[in-house]
A = this chain, B = another copy of it.
Amino acid sequence: MAKATTAPLQSGALPEERQQRILDRLRGDGRVVAAELAQLFEVSEDSIRRDLRELAAQGLCKRVYGGALLPAATLTPLKQRRMEHSARKQALARKAVSLVQTGQTLLIDAGTTNAAIAAALPRDAGLTVITNAPHIAQLLLDREGFEVLLIGGRVDPAIGGTIGAQAVEQVRRVRADLCFPGACAIDAAHGLWGFDGEEALFKRAMIEASDETVVVATDDKLEAVALHQVAELSRVQHLVVEHSADRATRSAFAARGVAVHRAEAGQ
């Protein structure tokens, strides 16, 4: 550094502040170029490289020749979420599917756990599946051997399925043997809960259109809290939990008349 008294910090930024602004830029554009940053902050590329090295060490960016990119993990949030916990969810799905009988009509909500259930359903068992999730419908069409009914309406991108008044109205016009409402949170004392109001209304309609309700809950759902009530626990006949689910929790549900099914040890 030259003997200049004012040069580096006057127009420039503090190191930490600089890194923060690099991150902002990165999130905005998806990429940063080292040479551009050096010019922007009026520092040498060496300093920029040091910053990028540090950010990469924290997993906040991926260093590439010439600059840095957003880490691959944040690029495909939707598809990646679909793969998360797949081993555990498959164990849950296998147990849930054992409750299904030949020729039944199923009402299946959107969600990754329910997609795992759809993938585990027995083929050519004369099953009719009603779903609000295009992903699940497509999955069953690809597998062939299912009767598929689609619930229409606006597709909520965060949920991956239709909810809202139109969807609710259509669900009211069907009748199913079993329904699988995706659980946001379930509690032995207060029943089934959802994060979103519209979503909760739709789940409630699903339950009312079905003879029996199966709630499939990963461990985290058993302790979660949510804002909107979907249904009392008395409307839930079956609860499928992971092998690792707490024993006290399981018996709490069983004591209230819910048939608790525990998945096999999932890998």
List residues of chain A with CB under 8 Å of any chain B CB: 9-10, 13-17, 20, 31, 33, 35, 64-67, 69, 76, 78-79, 132, 134-135, 137-138, 141-142, 144, 147-155, 157, 160, 162, 166-167, 170
- CB pair B150–A134 under 8 Å, yes or no, is yes
- Which of A67, A147, A157, A162 lies at the interface centre, i.e. has the most chain B CB atoms within 10 A of its CB? A157
8 contacts between A and B (CB under 8 A): A14-B67, A17-B31, A134-B134, A147-B154, A150-B150, A151-B152, A152-B167, A166-B170
- CB pair A137–B149 under 8 Å, yes or no, is no
- CB pair B69–A17 under 8 Å, yes or no, is yes
Question: Which chain B residue shows the least CB distance to A66?
Answer: B14
Given contacts A9-B66, A78-B144, A134-B150, 11 further A-B contacts (CB under 8 A): A14-B33, A17-B31, A17-B69, A76-B142, A79-B142, A134-B141, A141-B155, A149-B155, A152-B162, A152-B167, A166-B170
Contact of A142 among B78, B132, B148, B153 (CB under 8 A): B78
Kindly provide the distance from the CB of A110 to the nearest chain B CB, expressed in whole angstroms. Answer: 10
Kindly provide the distance from the CB of A48 to the nearest chain B CB, expressed in whole angstroms. Answer: 14
- CB pair A148–B157 under 8 Å, yes or no, is yes
- CB pair A148–B152 under 8 Å, yes or no, is no
Closest 5 CB pairs of A and B: A152-B152, A134-B134, A134-B137, A16-B64, A148-B155
**A150 to B135 alpha-carbon distance, docked (Å):** 12
Q: A141-B160, A149-B154, A157-B141 are in contact. Are A14 and B69 (CB under 8 A)?
A: yes
- CB pair B160–A153 under 8 Å, yes or no, is no
- CB pair B149–A153 under 8 Å, yes or no, is yes
Contact of A154 among B31, B148, B160 (CB under 8 A): B148
Question: Which chain B residue shows the least CB distance to A136?
Answer: B134
